[in-house]
Amino acid sequence: MGVDWSAKDENLACAVNLEGCLMYCNIQYKTLKIVSLGKLTATCVACCPHDSSLVAIGTKSGLVYIVQKDTILYRMRGHNEDIVSLSWCPSDMNILNGGNRRDLLLASGAKDR
């Protein structure tokens, strides 16, 4: 359903399929790691540009999953319809609050908005 290249690690590409399997492909070592995330219907994937171990996955149910390696860190309700796109903020500093705190911001788009 989705493929993304890691901006943080040029040797890493991630893909997700409809059955909720997240695949990590390491180009340098020619390895593939498959992680089953359970019963979710994925629609898109986005690698974090600041931390190569973080991946966001959008689903048909409107949930966004944040995954680190093989662990689901967060399940966030963002929409009531299918997530159609995900995008990490290119800055690792929170530009919204004007502080110097390191936050990783993620935007999602869905059929409902």
Instruction: Please name the residue ranges forming H helices in the chain.
Output: none
Q: Check residue 112 and give its pLDDT.
A: 67
Structure tokens at 42: 């994925």
Q: What's the domain range around 72?
A: 2-110
Judge contact between 35 and 68, C-beta under 8 A: no
Report the CATH number at residue 22.
Answer: 2.130.10.10
- Residue 107: per-residue pLDDT: 83
Q: Nearest CA to 65 among 42, 88, 34? A: 42
Q: For the chain, how many structural domains are there in total?
A: 1
Element counts in the chain: helices (H) and strands (E): 0, 10
Q: Which residues pair with 108 in a beta bridge?
A: 86
In this prediction, residues 69-75 reach a mean pLDDT of: 93
Backbone angles phi, psi at 95, to 5 degrees: -75, -15
Q: What confidence score (pLDDT) does residue 99 get?
A: 61
